[in-house]
């Protein structure tokens, strides 16, 4: 895999699939790890790249489980972590087709697992960067909010569109958003399901900075 911005900095990539030693030993999780994630391990940082086959990087039940186990594993190295997507999607959020098929018990478990993932990211022992290009929506925005720093491209788009569908996030995004940009603004964005441009997100304090290549900028900052 070619990582944008990394080649020009002279990095020698060492990519691997996530270890699933601590994950349920099932073909489903191993398939998700093979097809939806790439991990780049450098001496000074780690990159987790979301690469779902349909390019939307939806946070399915399986992907959330794999990410949770992977973040726990990477925490042992105490190196900065960068989470990135592709040029069109950081993440479109949860898979709503999957969610609508869940029973009440399954929905509760999925919500709790998502909360566990966001907490692991938030409490990671080194800075976690969200390198955001394209759409960062719903649960994808929750994931970005759990990161210590958010660096976005000028073409990035942000939003929590759940209210328009009669849904509300169960992954802690409502609380993190309120703490980041204030209660009144957060309530307005969530209830109105407002979609924000990168410039608007920067003005509100939702992201920390804009960069033509968010991944390269995240790498640069993580190496300081």
Domain that holds residue 165: 7-222
What's 213's domain CATH number? 3.90.226.10
DSSP state of 18: P
Q: Is residue 218 very low, low, confident or very high in pLDDT (cuts 50, 70, 90)?
A: very high
pLDDT tens digit sequence for 22-32: 444 355 556 66
The helix (H) or strand (E) run that includes residue 89 is strand 89-91
2 within domain boundaries = no
What are the helix (H) ranges across the chain?
Answer: 27-36, 61-74, 96-99, 104-122, 139-146, 173-181, 183-191, 198-204, 214-222
Answer whether residue 1 is part of any domain: no
Q: How many domains does the chain have?
A: 1
Q: Rounded to whole angstroms, how far apart are CA atoms 95 and 108? A: 15
More confident residue, 25 or 146: 146
Tell me the mean pLDDT in the region 159-164: 78
Residue 36 contacts by C-beta under 8 Å, 6 or more apart in sequence? 50, 51, 52, 53, 57, 63, 66
Residue 31 lies in a domain: yes
185 within a domain of the structure (yes/no): yes
pLDDT 10s digits, 95-136 = 988 988 999 999 899 999 999 999 999 999 999 999 999 999
């Amino acid at each position: 895999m070619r990582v944008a911005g990394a080649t020009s900095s002279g990095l020698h990539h060492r990519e691997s699939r996530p270890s699933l030693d601590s994950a349920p030993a099932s073909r489903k999780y191993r398939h998700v790890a093979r097809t939806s994630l790439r991990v780049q391990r450098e001496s000074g940082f780690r990159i987790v790249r979301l690469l779902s086959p349909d390019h939307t990087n939806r946070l399915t039940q399986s992907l959330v489980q794999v990410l949770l186990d992977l973040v726990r594993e990477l925490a042992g190295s105490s190196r900065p972590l960068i989470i990135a997507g592709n040029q069109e999607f950081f993440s479109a959020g949860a898979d709503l087709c999957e969610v609508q098929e869940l029973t009440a018990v399954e929905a509760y478990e999925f919500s709790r697992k998502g909360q566990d993932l966001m907490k692991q990211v938030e409490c990671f022992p080194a800075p976690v960067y969200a390198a955001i290009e394209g759409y960062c929506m719903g649960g994808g925005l929750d994931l970005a909010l759990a990161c210590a720093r958010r660096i976005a491209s000028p073409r990035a788009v942000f939003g929590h569109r759940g209210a328009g569908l009669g849904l509300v996030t169960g992954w802690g995004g409502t609380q993190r958003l309120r703490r980041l940009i204030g209660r009144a603004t957060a309530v307005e964005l969530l209830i109105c399901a407002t979609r924000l441009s990168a410039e608007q997100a920067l003005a509100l304090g939702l992201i920390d900075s804009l960069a033509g290549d968010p991944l390269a900028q995240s790498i640069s900052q993580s190496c300081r």
